[in-house]
């Protein structure tokens, strides 16, 4: 599959990222040169200039779209809204805090077609604070044990066929949404390829991942996902779902 055969929607969830959003958009645009693409920035109820800055950028390029949540609904809701609005053959994600390199996105793009889902894991996590690294490793271990999957990283960026991703009903409010997508897709039989990506670290502002509220939210979301997959198997196995799955593979 050549670059001209690929089409990609990149969802950029953003909450109070006025110092990062423009560079994030430019990084995405630079990585997608030579292919059919669109960027959907989901301004998740920001109280700063994130939304207005993104709107100004959109006025200079029709391929950049901006939607606004009236209040902050969480990363998962923002991502799911962008997924629902996507129109290209594949959907990817890029962080609004711009803590991923453009080259890493390009690496994901170059592997489109090798599997239903191309997902990435950090090549070097040393740029993250020690506490964040420990929590991340614990999270990977917990999910691997609970769901019996061999992924090296669950919350990293990924690209997936649009039909597959739009067939999911994501329940996670926060960053766990990315892990939930991958787990549901793999449990449904989605093929995948895992590659390295470069975590550059956010250039401005602070992450909320280490807040107790975020940790409790993550544990709650994991419990819901476990219940759906193991205690309510019809969520994945009912016949209408199988039909939807087959149709999604064709998109």
What pLDDT is recorded for position 98? 92
- Largest pairwise CA distance in the chain: 49
pLDDT in tens, 47-60: 999 999 999 999 99
Mean pLDDT of the chain: 87
- Judged against a pLDDT cut of 60, whether residue 134 lies above it is answered with yes
Q: How far apart are CA 141 and CA 71, in angstroms?
A: 33
Taking Cα atoms as reference points, which of 206, 209, 136 lies closest to residue 175?
209
Name, in order, each residue with C-beta under 8 angstroms of 69's C-beta and a sequence gap of 6 or more: 42, 43, 44, 45, 77, 78, 81
Which residue ranges form the domains of the chain, and what is each CATH number? 3-249 (3.90.550.10)
pTM score over 0.75 = yes
pLDDT in tens, 159-198: 999 999 999 999 998 889 999 999 999 999 999 999 988 7
Q: How far apart are CA 91 and CA 161, in angstroms?
A: 6
- Judged against a pLDDT cut of 50, whether residue 92 lies above it is answered with yes
What pLDDT is recorded for position 208? 53
What pLDDT is recorded for position 249? 54
What pLDDT is recorded for position 201? 60
Burial track 156-187 (b if 16+ CB lie within 10 A, e otherwise): bbbbbbbbbbbbbebbbbbbbbbbbbbbbbbb
The end-to-end CA distance of the chain, in Å, is: 16
Residue with tokens 């690209």: 159
Name, in order, each residue with C-beta under 8 angstroms of 31's C-beta and a sequence gap of 6 or more: 102, 103, 105, 106, 109
Residue 110's pLDDT band, with cuts at 50, 70 and 90, is very high
The percentage of the chain sitting over the pLDDT mark of 70, rounded to a whole number, equals 81
- Judged against a pLDDT cut of 60, whether residue 139 lies above it is answered with yes
């Amino acid at each position: 599959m050549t670059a001209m055969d690929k089409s990609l929607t990149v969802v950029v969830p953003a909450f109070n990222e006025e110092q990062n959003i423009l560079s994030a958009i430019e990084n995405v645009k630079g990585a997608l040169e030579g292919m059919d693409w669109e960027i959907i920035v989901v301004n998740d109820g920001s109280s700063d200039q994130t939304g207005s800055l993104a709107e100004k950028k959109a006025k200079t390029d029709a391929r950049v779209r901006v939607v606004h949540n009236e209040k902050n609904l969480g990363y998962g809701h923002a991502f799911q809204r962008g997924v629902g609005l996507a129109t290209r053959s594949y959907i990817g994600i890029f962080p609004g805090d711009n803590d991923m390199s453009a080259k890493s996105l390009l690496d994901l793009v170059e592997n489109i077609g090798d599997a239903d889902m191309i997902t990435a894991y950090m090549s070097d996590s040393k740029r993250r604070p020690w506490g964040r690294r420990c929590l991340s490793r614990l999270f990977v271990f917990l999910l691997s044990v609970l769901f019996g999957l061999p992924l090296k990283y669950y919350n990293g960026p990924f690209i997936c066929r649009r039909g597959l991703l739009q067939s999911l009903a994501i329940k996670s409010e926060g960053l766990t949404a990315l892990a939930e997508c991958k787990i549901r897709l793999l449990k449904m039989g989605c093929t995948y390829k895992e590659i390295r990506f470069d975590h550059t670290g956010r250039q401005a502002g602070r992450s909320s991942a280490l807040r107790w509220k975020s940790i409790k939210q993550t544990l709650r979301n994991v419990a819901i996902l476990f219940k759906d997959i193991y205690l309510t198997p019809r969520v994945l196995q009912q016949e209408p779902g199988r039909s939807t799955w087959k149709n999604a593979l064709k998109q």
